[in-house]
Structure 1
Amino acid sequence: MAEEAAPNGAQAAAAPQIKMNVLAQFIRDMSFENILAQKGSGGEVKPDVQVQVNLDAKKRTTENQYEVVIKLKIDSKNKGSEDRLFLLELEYSGVFNIENVPEEQLHPFLLIECPRMLFPFVRRIVSDVTRDGGFPPLNLETIDFLALYRQEIARRQAAQAAGETKADA
C-alpha cells in the first residue's frame, strides 16, 4: 500500500501550494443617509431593501499584492409609497498577498475567493451602520460570489456579441 501512496504524494509535492494572506482591510468610502429621519413618516413603514453588489480588483505595485474592493449600494424604500427610507453606499477594500495561482485562474480567484474572505466584515459593518442609523440591523444574506462572477462574465460576453452584431450591420 505504501507503493500506491508514493505516486499521489509526489504529484501533491509537484503542485505548488496556493498562498493567500490578507494584509489589510479597510473602509475606502461609506455614506449613510437616513431619509426617513429627515422627512418623517406619514404612516406605517414596510421596508423594501434592494442590494447592488459590484466587485473590483487590481494589481498593486508590490509583487504578488492585489487590492479587491466590494462595492455595495443598499437602497431601502417603503413598500407602496416608494418613499426612500435610507441609502447606504459602502466600498470595502482588502489587500491580499497571493502566490502560486496560475495566471488563467487569477481573475476568478480575485473576484470569488477574496470577496468571500471580506464578506463577513462587510456584513457586520452594514448591520452596525443600519442599527446605529435608527433602523433594525440589516443582516445581509450570504452573497454567492461564484454566481455573481458567472453572471458578469455572461453579461460581458453578451455585450461583446451585441457589439460585434452592430459592427457587422
Structure 2
Amino acid sequence: MSDTPENGAATPPQQPQITSRILAQYIRDMSFENILAQKGVTGDAQPEIQVQVNLDARKRKQKDQYEVITKLNITSKTKEKSEPLFMLELEYAGVFQVEGVPEEQMHPYLLIECPRMTFPFLRRIVSDVTRDGGFPPLNLDTIDFLALYRSELARRAESEKVAKEKAN
C-alpha cells in the first residue's frame, strides 16, 4: 500500500492539530478610583474615555502551559475641562494549555488568540466595576488584538532603528 491516492498525487503532510483551552482566569491586580466622588466636578460631566491596552505572556513550568496577561488602563475625564472622573487599572490573566502551535508562531498566538478568548470576561469585569463605582457601565468595544500585535511589532522595529542610528 502506498501513500499516494489512486490519482497518483502525493498526500500533503498532516498539519499538527492545534488545541487550546483555558485552565484558569483571574484578576491579578485591580484599582478603581472614583475621582468624581472624591473631588467633585463642576458643570456638565460629559465623559471622554481613554483605554490603553498592553499584553504580556510567559511560559509556565508545566508543559505547554502559558500565562497571558491583558493590562488595561482606563481613564475618564470631562470633555470640557479635562477634569478626571474615574481611573481603572486592571490586570487580567488567563492560564492556557496550548499544543500543536509551531514554536515560531507561538508568540503571535499567545498575544492574539489567547486575549481574544478572555476578552468577554474582562469586558464584563470593566462593566461591573464602573457600574458598581457609580457610573454608567462601560462596555468596551471589541479590541482588535491582531492590529494591536502588528502595531507593537512596528513600534519595536522603529525603536530598534532609532537605537541603531544613534549608535552609528
Same fold (TM over 0.5): yes
Compute the RMSD of aligned alpha carbons.
Answer: 1.6
Residue in structure 1 matched with residue 67 of structure 2 by the alignment: 67
SS in 1 for 2:76: strand
Alignment partner of 1:56 is 2:56 = yes
After superposition, where does 1:1-169 map in structure 2 within 5 Å?
3=6, 10-11=11-12, 14-168=14-168
For 2:142 and 2:39, the matched residues in 1 are separated by 32
Deviation (angstroms), 1:7: 6.6
- Long gaps (5+) in structure 1: none
Question: Quick one: which amino acid aligns to residue 136 of structure 2?
Answer: P
Instruction: Give the structure-1-normalised TM-score.
Output: 0.93
Question: Quick one: which amino acid aligns to residue 137 of structure 2?
Answer: P
- Partners of 2:73 and 2:88 within 8 A in 1: yes
SS in 1 for 2:41: coil
Question: Quick one: which amino acid aligns to residue 82 of structure 1?
Answer: S
SS in 2 for 1:23: strand
| Matched length | 164
Deviation (angstroms), 1:3: 4.9
For 2:58 and 2:125, the matched residues in 1 are separated by 23
Instruction: Give the structure-2-normalised TM-score.
Output: 0.93
Question: Quick one: which amino acid aligns to residue 60 of structure 1?
Answer: R
For 2:124 and 2:9, the matched residues in 1 are separated by 46
For 1:121 and 1:36, the matched residues in 2 are separated by 26
For 1:3 and 1:138, the matched residues in 2 are separated by 59
Higher helix residue share? 1
- Partners of 2:41 and 2:83 within 8 A in 1: no
For 2:86 and 2:18, the matched residues in 1 are separated by 41
For 1:43 and 1:64, the matched residues in 2 are separated by 54
For 1:68 and 1:155, the matched residues in 2 are separated by 21
For 1:24 and 1:140, the matched residues in 2 are separated by 22
Q: Equivalent pairs: percent with the same residue?
A: 64
Deviations 1:14-46 (A, max 9, x none): 221001010000000000000001111222110
- Long gaps (5+) in structure 2: none
**Runs of 4+ displaced beyond 6 Å:** none
